[in-house]
Amino acid sequence: MKTSKLGLSLEKIAHARELAEQITAPVQQYIEKHTTTTIERATLRLLGADQVDSEGVPVPNLIISTLSDRINSGSTRYYINGLLKKGMVPAELNQAIADGLDITTLDLVDFQYLEEKAQELVKGFSDRVTGNVKIRNDKLNKFGDRANSPWLYVIVATGNIYEDTKQAQAAAMQGADIIAVIRTTAQSLLDYVPYGATTEGFGGTYATQENFKIMRAALDETGDKINKYVRLVNYCSGLCMPEIAAMGALERLDMMLNDSMYGILFRDINMYRTFVDQNFSRMINAFADIIINTGEDNYLTTSDAYEKAYTVLASQLINENFATRAGMPNRLMGLGHAFEMNPTKKNGFLYELAQAEMAREIFPEAPLKYMPPTKYMTGDVFKGYAMNTLFNFVAQATGQSILLLGMLTEAIHTPFMQDRYLAIANARYVLNNIADFGNDIEYKKGGIMATRAQEVLGQTISFLEEIKEKNLLDAIEDKMFADISRPKNGGKGLEGVFEKSSDYWNPVESFLKKQLLTKGAAL
């Protein structure tokens, strides 16, 4: 940003970023020294571990359960050793493990042989993921992509992956650019990833690798018919954050919900577990060229959108810095915010416009994710459409990138197909009619919007300074985000965090760091 339409101080913005970097630094030190059960399972998945036993327990979980405290040396050596000792390919070893083989009881071969085999398996993972990126880019080059206008994002959530594909294909035909498959209620609290195609789920559909594959194929089929690449989104969050990132990379997902603090605040997942997991999951996403979507919009469901607007900006800056530390470029950081002010507030539209423009100016390269009004939706059809129209207006006027469309029946399990159509039609009407509005207006110096944005930036700096003084973990414990308190040693998943031993070995992590550093990202 060379200049600010809102008169924002470039020095203050730089200072806010410095504070965010200082806040995340001690957390990153902890991250580098620790691994988790799900990081190890994700690593195994990327090297070929798959399948389930007769009781539906995934092979990666079976391996980790037999390791016990040896996990602090890394799980990779045992899996690769099993391949070498048994003379098997991954599919054969996976079946043997599912049938009861304990690979941790096998004598280890010389480390040089483990390293040689690891390089072969890592190359297989790398070739598959880079191939996926090429397929996506080739399709985008062939069909083109929306320019100078937000991508239109809608959801499907029937619980049945086969019904989801029908709904998703219909939405793509109606004009949607992005399809998000809402994850079934509480899957984020499962410490394993279900296996295979699923046809039952409450409030959404299970995130499984087979479901990813089915939906990707369905969207490609429709996209090829309508000469358009349709992006696919799922939820890389919860207790299996790195594993779902791995599955998404392997099956060519395009976006992943992936926040550094969402699981802590809104799912009561232990903060140490979440901070370690988000780093590894973001490395995978960065390598797979997957855009992440962060969850700052959720803060405004528990906090007032006007009074606590600064917490959104502070979290965006913290999410940005954690993502940078994971090697993710700005163009993949779909930082979140939302249109959630009380519609009865005088000049609320001006405050919303100021907030959205501020986010765009502070994060000029980020594909910002903008969420529609939900908190104050009442069921009044006409008022609801008016609110969604204003939301669409702000999105286009301020150059938002990812526009999650508001629709009236979204909270009733899965939106009615006709409501998706009307939501898409509303957005396309507004976006077209004010296509160049943002480039054609100026913000009055000293006016309501410029004053508001400068005020929020100032509050954010004060807030970040307070967090730095406390440290991030204590700030979360003290209810500084979303008015929710989470204890450092509480929540779910802490038992799955392990300090790395001096002989810890993870060839996937080493590969990802090398690749991301080569691209110039700062770890």
Domain boundaries, the chain: 34-144+504-523, 145-451
Does the CA dihedral 316-320-323-325 come out positive or negative? Answer: negative
Q: Which residues contact 439 (CB under 8 A, 6 or more apart)?
A: none
Question: Does domain 145-451 bear CATH number 3.20.20.440?
Answer: yes
Is residue 297 flagged as an active site residue? yes
Name the catalytic one among 153, 206, 229, 262. Answer: 262
- Alpha-carbon distance of 226 to 237, in angstroms, equals 32
Active-site option among 164, 191, 254, 297: 297
308 counts as catalytic: no
Q: Which residues are registered as beta bridge partners of 269?
A: 492
Across the chain, which distance is largest between two alpha carbons, in Å? 73
- The HSE-up count of residue 68 (CA atoms within 13 Å, CB side) is 3
Per-residue confidence (pLDDT) for residue 167, from 0 to 100? 94
Helix (H) or strand (E) holding 322: helix 309-325
Phi, psi dihedral angles at 112 (to 5 degrees) = -60, -35
Which residues does 139 contact at the CB level (< 8 Å), separation at least 6? 220, 223, 229
User: For residue 180, what is the enclosing H or E element?
Assistant: strand 178-181
Identify the pLDDT of residue 415.
Answer: 73
Q: Which helix (H) or strand (E) holds 152?
A: strand 151-156
The residues, any chain, with a CB within 8 Å of residue 107's CB and separated by 6 or more, are 85
Local mean pLDDT, 10-residue blocks, the chain (523 residues):
90 98 98 98 98 97 94 96 97 98 96 97 98 98 88 94 96 96 94 96 94 98 98 96 98 97 96 98 98 94 94 98 97 97 97 98 98 90 93 97 88 75 96 96 97 98 98 96 95 97 97 81 43
Model pTM score: 0.96
Give pLDDT, residue 410. 65
The pLDDT value given to residue 378: 85
* 262: exposed, middle or buried (Cβ count in 10 Å: 0-12, 13-18, 19+): buried
Quick one: pLDDT at residue 289?
A: 98
**CA dist., res. 247 & res. 251, Å (int):** 6
Count of all residues that appear for the chain in the document: 523
Instruction: Report pLDDT for 149.
Output: 87
CB 320 within 8 A of CB 358: no
Q: What is the Cα 286 distance to its own chain's centre?
A: 11
Active-site hit among 5, 117, 228, 369: 369
**In the prediction, which pLDDT does 412 show?**
59
Q: What are phi and psi of 497, to 5 degrees?
A: -105, 135
Residue 64: what pLDDT? Answer: 97
Q: Is 262 a catalytic residue?
A: yes
Q: Encoding tokens for residue 18?
A: 């410095």
